[in-house]
Structure 1
Amino acid sequence: MTMFLGTHASRVDAKGRISIPSPFRAALREQARPGEALMIIRPSHLHDCLEGWSASAFFAFSGALDEYDPFSADHDDLATSLYADAYPLDCDKEGRVSLPKALKEHAGLEDDVSFMGLGRVFQIWNPTLAEERRKQARSRTRELGHRKHAETKERTAL
């Protein structure tokens, strides 16, 4: 599977469109199935950003709902969270998409945007918030590494 890698800058044009970075478009096209939208864009559950999925990856991931009773409140809540604000989108010939207003508002997108690759998905951020998130993630990863190193030393000392 092709992965979404790197951080890429883009701008919102006068018509409110953003250009999907060419490496991300290539990854999306590689994963696309005939008859499917190129991508699914939805609000992140964890951050003030948007998540971009290939349609096939999104529908494979959402298959986890099959484990729930379709008439349960849990199923209804998860389905609402996954699908109600998810939008299937295709790029125009120049690789641009028009994001729904609700998605732009969720992520605080105005003039400039940052795309961050996260492997199987990508995120679309306000650039200031993207930099804060990257710093936070690096800091937490370092802390995790220090904790794992300390745990390993403790286990080997026993």
Structure 2
Amino acid sequence: MTDRFVSNFTNRLDAKGRVSIPSSFRAVLAKDGYEGLYVHPALDLAAFDAGGYALRRTIDEILARFSPFSEEWESLSTALNGTSEVLRVDPEGRIMLSEALKAHVGITDTVTFVGHGHKFQIWEPQQFQAHLEAAKSKLRDVKRALGAQSLAPAGAGT
């Protein structure tokens, strides 16, 4: 068993609007011990972040970098805490997404769960595929740039 969210899964919402969290993700959440599922809209993506104590710790660490009286702290706290929800996970491992969360992401009848280590994201499947293709393209550019750097003679450009 792992303590990280990895891989991606696409699941359908049932007739009542519930969706099953992938079993490997449920195992990580159970190990984490958080009651429910903490979610907030992603800051710059059409997705939302989800997780337990590990995600909460990361948010607390980010906020701790700023004075609690600063504009940055206020903005981040509002975006990360003020728009968050704690969803109840039923005994079958399903969650009910609020209308606000579904609207933010554009979810209708299916969602894609995407592992990010300490957290996972929930996407509308076509939006995720477009994001994945863009991410792969950026990484190909990074790989090319790193490859070109490794071919340069030591001390070149200095």
TM-score by length of 1: 0.90
SS in 2 for 1:142: helix
Q: Any conservation in 2 of the 1:16–1:99 contact (CA below 8 Å)?
A: yes
Residues 92-135 of structure 1, C-alpha deviations (whole Å, 9 max, x = no match): 01111111111110110001111111222111111111111111
Residue in structure 1 matched with residue 145 of structure 2 by the alignment: 147
Aligned counterparts, 1:1-158, within 5 A: 2-32=3-33, 36-54=34-52, 56-63=53-60, 64-156=62-154, 158=156
TM-score by length of 2: 0.90
SS in 2 for 1:91: coil
SS in 1 for 2:44: coil
CA distance in 1: counterparts of 2:87 and 2:55, whole angstroms: 13
Residues 20-51 of structure 1, C-alpha deviations (whole Å, 9 max, x = no match): 1111001111111xxx4232111111210111
The Cα RMSD (Å) is 1.6
Unpaired runs of at least 5, structure 1: none
Runs of 4+ with deviation above 4 angstroms: none
Shift in Å, 1:157: 7.1
SS in 1 for 2:40: strand
Unpaired runs of at least 5, structure 2: none
Count residues in correspondence.
154
Give percent identity, aligned residues only.
32
